């Protein structure tokens, strides 16, 4: 069997991108994946239309124990670079709010793009093909990685790990990449679900269960201080807790045991509005808040106060109500886990990697890209852009 220049394990977004870039440089590349279907996570992303990048991508859109690490790769392969690739393949796309870019038709088009780039670059495929063991051998003249697979032995000079994270195990996600990193002595930032719905204690949440399915815009935050993360997005009530874009965003920052705060009337000075309404006469409190919220929420939130005339309520009661509306503090008891998470937070510690090439500093020839690395993007196309950018940096940097 020939010795490949490069073996890429994981035929997802990052893996196919890296294989294509390396193949275009004349490298002999083999791409391996244990799954039977190609790139299932791409297929289901963005409601089947793949939010493939964002117009504006900066380092602050990513979470990492080493927040500056991603800058080099993101600068080397930008959103416009991927847009140009999409355009060259004749894929129509559109922009949604906050710079999110989607295919007009189907996420299958992004899979087809990556597959064609690989085929045109002469990449060889082994799929489905499970890797059971990886060893590294050194000789006076060369280094080799030896992969034991269910299709026989594969040898390569450089090995790229693009196996993703732990999110959505029903589509085949595993801890392969994290285990391999540890086997080669690399540190791993403890992984956990990210971009995931939050859950609450059953007794605590029971009064709000009837609100399941209700959505409204809110500012969601966690932590304290001037740089505490906050997102103004839709929030969705569920039977077990809270979901929706605002909650998915904050879940990546939330720490177990900490509260999250929700401003349920983000564009209003609620205290001034309530005090002013008190002077206006006979309006009931529930009717006033129904101007801002779905009626079901105002009735549930206010309880017996819903039918009270604002004019009959003390200023103190109105101020306390306004404060609660503007900063509703609740403590989640957990998340819905990897089955419902869009991505994994944590991964291979970036301080172990070269930011220009994604190569492990202590293991020449071993590279990690995409979600398996401790770089986690916001909701909105950022994780795909990290896949493209880290893959391009690696593909270009392979020796």
| 230-266 tens-digit pLDDT | 999 999 999 999 999 999 999 999 999 999 999 999 9
Select 198-335's CATH number: 3.30.70.260, 2.60.120.310, 2.40.30.10, 1.25.40.10: 2.40.30.10
Q: 191 near 346, Cβ under 8 Å?
A: yes
Q: What is the DSSP string of 23-59?
A: HHTT--EEEE-S-SSTTHHHHHGGGGT-EEEES---G
Q: What is the dihedral of CA 52, 58, 60, 63, to 10 degrees?
A: 40
- The sign one gets for the Cα dihedral 132, 134, 135, 140 is positive
Beta pairing class for 29-32 and 3-9:
parallel
Q: What is the per-residue pLDDT for 1?
A: 64
Which neighbouring-strand residues pair with 216?
235
Q: 362 near 353, Cβ under 8 Å?
A: no
Residue 64 half-sphere exposure, CB side, CA atoms within 13 Å? 25
Q: In the numeric block, which tokens belong to residue 234?
A: 């839709």
Q: 341 near 383, Cβ under 8 Å?
A: no
Gap between the Cα atoms of 203 and 290, Å rounded: 27
3-193+343-397: what fold? FAD/NAD(P)-binding domain (3.50.50)
Which neighbouring-strand residues pair with 161?
9, 368
Residue ranges covered by each domain of the chain: 3-193+343-397, 198-335
Residue 82 half-sphere exposure, CB side, CA atoms within 13 Å? 34
Q: What is the per-residue pLDDT for 146?
A: 97
Which neighbouring-strand residues pair with 262?
220, 328
Q: 230 near 219, Cβ under 8 Å?
A: yes
Q: 30 near 52, Cβ under 8 Å?
A: no
Tokens 């929700």, residue located = 262
What confidence tens digit (pLDDT) does each residue in 269-313 have?
999 999 998 887 788 999 889 888 888 898 888 888 899 999 999
Q: Tell me the Cα Rg of the chain.
A: 25
Q: What is the per-residue pLDDT for 140?
A: 64
Burial class (CB in 10 A: 0-12, 13-18, 19+), 305: middle
For helices 13-24 and 382-397, the axis angle rounded to 10 degrees is: 30
Digit-by-digit pLDDT tens for the chain (399 residues) are: 679 999 999 999 999 999 999 999 999 999 999 999 999 999 999 999 999 999 999 999 999 999 999 999 999 999 999 999 999 999 999 999 999 999 999 999 999 999 999 999 999 999 999 999 999 997 767 789 999 999 999 999 999 999 999 999 999 999 999 999 999 999 999 999 999 999 999 898 999 999 999 999 999 999 987 788 999 999 999 999 999 999 999 999 999 999 999 999 998 999 999 999 888 778 899 988 988 888 889 888 888 889 999 999 999 999 999 999 999 999 999 999 999 999 999 999 999 999 999 999 999 999 999 999 999 999 999 999 999 999 999 999 998
Matching CATH topology for 3-193+343-397 and 198-335? Answer: no
Listed residue (393, 396, 384, 391) closest to 57, CA to CA:
384
């Amino acid at each position: 069997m020939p010795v490949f220049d490069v073996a890429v394990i994981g035929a997802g977004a990052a893996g196919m991108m890296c294989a294509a870039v390396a193949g275009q440089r004349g490298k002999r590349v083999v791409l391996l994946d244990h799954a039977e279907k190609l790139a299932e996570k791409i297929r289901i992303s963005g409601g089947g239309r793949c939010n493939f990048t964002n117009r504006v991508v900066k380092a602050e859109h990513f979470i990492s124990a080493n927040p500056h690490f991603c800058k080099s790769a993101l600068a080397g392969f930008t959103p416009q670079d991927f847009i140009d690739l999409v355009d060259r393949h004749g894929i129509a796309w559109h922009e949604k709010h906050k710079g999110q870019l989607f295919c007009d038709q189907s996420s299958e088009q992004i899979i087809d793009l990556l597959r064609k780039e690989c085929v045109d670059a002469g990449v060889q495929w082994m799929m489905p093909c499970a890797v059971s063991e990886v060893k590294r051998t050194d000789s006076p003249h060369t280094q080799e990685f030896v992969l034991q697979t269910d299709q026989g032995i594969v040898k390569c000079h450089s090995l790229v790990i693009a196996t993703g994270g732990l999110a959505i195990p029903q589509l085949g996600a595993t801890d392969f990449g994290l285990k391999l990193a540890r086997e080669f002595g690399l540190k791993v930032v403890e992984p956990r679900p990210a971009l995931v719905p939050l859950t609450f204690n059953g007794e605590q949440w029971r009064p709000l269960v009837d609100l399941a399915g209700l959505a409204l815009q809110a500012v969601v935050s966690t932590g304290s201080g001037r740089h505490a993360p906050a997102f103004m997005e839709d929030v969705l009530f569920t039977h077990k807790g809270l979901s929706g874009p605002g909650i998915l965003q904050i879940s990546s920052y939330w720490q177990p045991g900490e509260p999250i705060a929700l401003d349920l009337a983000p564009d209003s000075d609620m205290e001034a509005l309530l005090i002013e309404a008190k002077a206006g006469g006979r309006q009931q409190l529930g009717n006033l808040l129904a101007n801002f919220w779905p009626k079901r929420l105002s009735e549930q939130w206010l309880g017996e106060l819903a039918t009270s005339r604002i004019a009959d309520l003390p200023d103190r009661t109105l101020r306390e109500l306004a404060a609660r509306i503007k900063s509703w503090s609740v403590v989640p008891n957990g998340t819905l886990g990897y089955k419902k998470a869009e991505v994994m937070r944590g991964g291979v510690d970036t301080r172990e990697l070269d930011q220009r090439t994604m190569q492990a500093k202590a293991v020449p020839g071993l590279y990690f890209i995409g979600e398996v690395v401790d770089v986690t993007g916001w909701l909105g196309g950022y994780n795909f852009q990290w896949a493209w950018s880290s893959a391009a940096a690696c593909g270009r940097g392979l020796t």
